[in-house]
């Protein structure tokens, strides 16, 4: 082995360090979903995962030495999904029963905060059995744009379940919200008892 090859081999981090942080699970927790990517642009892998147990769930994001935790609804209809696209961490989940709320939260690393921050939230409240009207809301925290509309149930043979009515656009300004302070889809829609 050449001196250069030896020097490179000795200076390379161990395999676990190259993979980045590992999910830490307490006794009784299971890993629901995880994704690894370079969230803060420093060239090192970071980690986002959902840890779940019987009555609790948390989204945990590890960026370098920073760990952020967001408490989630305990009983999802399906496991959440995590993806990292274009410097944005996407977190999708579906909660409820026959009446459900589907939500997508978008997070991005903020150097000034030294943390992941919420940059967008979309939520849909609807009936999975088409028993009642629904509602959709979308909030872009970077611009303050907040769009809502009612989804009116159709009772015809068109194959279309809902009509979008009562569309509203307004501004909802916010200070930067860290991941752990992110509202839920229920909060955005104001159901049940949310209303941020």
Residue 41 has pLDDT above 90, yes or no: yes
Count the residues in the chain.
196
Confidence of residue 26 (pLDDT cuts 50, 70, 90): very high
Cα dihedral 36/67/181/35 (nearest 10): 10
Tell me the two tokens of residue 196.
């941020």
Q: What is the pLDDT of residues 113-128, one digit of tens each?
A: 999 999 999 999 999 8
- Can you give 165-189 as a three-state secondary structure string? EEEEEEECCCCCEEHHHCCCHHHHH
Residue 92 has pLDDT above 60, yes or no: yes
Confidence of residue 10 (pLDDT cuts 50, 70, 90): very low
Taking residues 180-188, what's their average pLDDT? 94
Taking residues 129-134, what's their average pLDDT? 90
Percentage of the chain modeled with pLDDT above 70: 88
Taking residues 92-117, what's their average pLDDT? 95
Closest CA to 185 of 88, 104, 108: 104
Q: What is the pLDDT of residues 153-164, one digit of tens each?
A: 887 877 778 889
Dist. CA 123–CA 191, nearest whole Å: 11
């Amino acid at each position: 082995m050449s001196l250069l090859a030896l020097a490179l081999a000795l200076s390379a981090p161990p395999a676990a360090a190259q993979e980045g942080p590992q999910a830490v699970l307490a006794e009784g927790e299971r890993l629901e979903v995880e994704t690894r990517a370079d969230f803060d642009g420093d060239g090192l892998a970071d980690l986002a995962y959902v840890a779940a147990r019987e009555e609790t769930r948390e989204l945990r994001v590890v960026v370098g030495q920073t760990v952020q935790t967001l408490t989630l609804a305990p009983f999802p209809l399906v496991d959440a999904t995590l993806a990292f696209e274009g410097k944005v961490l996407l977190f999708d989940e579906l909660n409820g029963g026959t009446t459900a709320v589907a939500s997508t939260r978008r997070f991005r690393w903020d150097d000034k905060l030294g943390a992941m921050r919420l940059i967008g939230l979309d939520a849909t409240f609807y009936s999975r059995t088409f028993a009642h009207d629904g509602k959709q809301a979308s909030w872009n925290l970077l611009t303050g744009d907040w769009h809502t509309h009612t989804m009116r149930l159709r009772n015809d043979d068109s194959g279309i379940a809902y009509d979008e009515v009562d569309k509203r656009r307004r501004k909802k300004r916010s200070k930067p919200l860290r991941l752990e302070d992110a509202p839920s889809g229920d909060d955005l829609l104001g159901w049940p008892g949310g209303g941020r």
